[in-house]
Structure 1
């Protein structure tokens, strides 16, 4: 179960077309995995003839949880437009790039697109490459470099059928939502957020999906849960993953061991991690010497200068 759960948590999904052996391995182990995902995290599992995935909806959205290769809001808009375009396509149905660009130009809000602009062609190419890498589409013939050079460039694509499972499923109509917080609340709109099961889901999600869990006014109840059930939670997690749960007064962290391959880790083997560790060490020295005094919530404020 451990390897399968780690794999499903690390990857967006497991596609049968990309790794048939891993796909069947995941499906064979879904009994135990589903029990943990649903009971502990409140996450649903999607399984069909195309893929297996865990719906990884964070308890608290963070800036770093976006698509790493996207640099602008327009790229997310183009991705949504492409998903709408694929909605009407059958699995293995082919289409050419100009069909997609015409659909986007006709349906994008405010008609705010001009394919003669290199910047917007480049944004679409970035979305198409992400979609191909993720398994939403497959390149059959041609190269998107041609479209990057000129609006007349053509590429032949094939719809894989997985686009229907890319977005999360909502339990109610989202057209009435007016602010980002509505999406967060939609998971619990029929449940009392003080109930133990909801708090358990939130705590597990924050430990598994976020870099750390920090005490804020709205998370006091979650830290009360850690106070009373931290030992049980630690036993649950350490049985499944190579990890240690560190619970402090105003924060909690799931520290992954060398044997755990779940997502990215810090420190990584790169210059940025070295710089951050060096700066953190210097700050720690100042704290130990009393030159910097942590605030009541254990945060440290340092001037930009």
Structure 2
């Protein structure tokens, strides 16, 4: 990988700053509407799913696993070119390695494995914005991908696998979904609540959960299953009917509507954005 000074951009990259589309949407709280899409898809790559199975607290404390993962990644996006935790995120994965069931080896810093994890976040931004904000133009899609290459290079991982442009990224994504991802145990566990119900969070009392669960579980199942690609739903055996899909599409169209967007854009930043994103916009003196 070419050594860069912190502010240099390579051809095809775009600035990751207050004017970027990834800043606008990655820390947007409406991202919760896509459910755990990127996490589930990450764990459907066998090597990545095995790494989580062998090394993570995912099975014993799912909320803690997500907190430890998402925070530093948000920091990598919303940090400056000179000051962001990208290298620390990479180094955290240095010892995540082991044996696959077939005897082959895996390592989290293998470029194919590491890039897949990143790609699911990039695709999540694309999917979220196009589904729940507004239909993206070709230019917006190209811009998001160009910004995502700047984001990826902040990790300091080999960029030899990085698709050259958005069209190449789409081909990569289709190949992964069509012939590489599998229903790994980790991914299946992560969506088990769709049919079994969500386990009571540690911070919630049994009585409170008894009241909340009948409302929360159907909503979580709807957003999780509807927010996955059809291929992932099929591999994971998640129930989804044509009627449910029509409901999901109507739900998404409501969020994309002009009145809802108008209201959302005028809500306080504390409602609209994650804390890391709010602080970054404040530093830049910009309100998106």
Specify if TM > 0.5: no
**Which structure carries more strand by proportion?**
1
**Which structure carries more helix by proportion?**
2
Normalised to the residue count of structure 2, the TM-score between the two structures is 0.31
Larger Rg: 1
